[in-house]
Structure 1
């Protein structure tokens, strides 16, 4: 049952990304182009998402636990540190250059657009490299091969 609800949630999310234009990098880049031909329509998408999340969180926090899990999985670390800021900056730079963030990139994959076919492998390589650096394995491999 959990797999079904996960699939359904992902499907609704993906359809929302496609319908709103978030899977179209040209539309996203038009939104980010404040000095050029700015397209403000995605501000309404983000505003609607913010409102929906606000209401959803208010309803969810009234429950003792999620419907399909015994407890809420809430991060304990609340520090704003260098890795968090660096990751946020890299995310923003990648979004600004490619016009994609991870969710919309996956929903655009079936279109086989050249930008998507470059962005997704680069994103996956970055995730892999980041995990290796965080674990210290990348630096250890460099040190042992010399």
Structure 2
């Protein structure tokens, strides 16, 4: 039960942070990706803020113990090779992010707004996840 509560609280904090920082606005994200036009560096500052909180906790607390804060074993991926699946997935993610101006986290936060475009994005994302899990086995 404590894991569900922890996940729910973490999700709420993430969603609140995305709303406060404006990262749920596709125009803001597209502004970040427009490096040759009206570039908006806000997303870089949001990423740097997140990393500045996460990295010290990870390197000073979690990594040395090899366990989560709830004393469960960390399941860190060991695959370090760049293969076709990873590159193709990254390209698809980047194309989707660039076209829509939104990635999965902010899209889920935006679902509450009921916009057809966001609902379509999340539905497409879920279908893609299901198809990927079925065909990658």
Shift of 1:69: 4.3
Larger Rg: 1
Runs of 4+ in 1 over 4 A off after TM superposition: none
Please identify, of 62-71 and 84-93, the stretch whose mean Cα deviation from structure 2 is larger: 62-71
For normalisation by structure 1, the TM-score amounts to 0.84
Distance between the aligned counterparts of 1:29 and 1:127, measured in 2? 24
Unaligned runs of 5+ in 2: none
For normalisation by structure 2, the TM-score amounts to 0.89
What is the RMSD computed on CA atoms of the aligned residues? 1.5
Unaligned runs of 5+ in 1: 136-146
Match of residue 30 from structure 2: 29
Match of residue 14 from structure 1: 15
Match of residue 87 from structure 1: 89
Distance between the aligned counterparts of 1:53 and 1:112, measured in 2? 32
Match of residue 102 from structure 1: 104
Please identify, of 45-54 and 76-85, the stretch whose mean Cα deviation from structure 2 is larger: 45-54
Q: Deviations over 1:6-60 (max 9, x none)?
A: 1111111111111111111111111111222221211111111222222121122
Distance between the aligned counterparts of 2:27 and 2:66, measured in 1? 43
Question: Where in structure 2 are the equivalents of 1:114-133 lying within 5 Å?
Answer: 114-133=116-135
Change (3 A) 1:36 1:114: farther
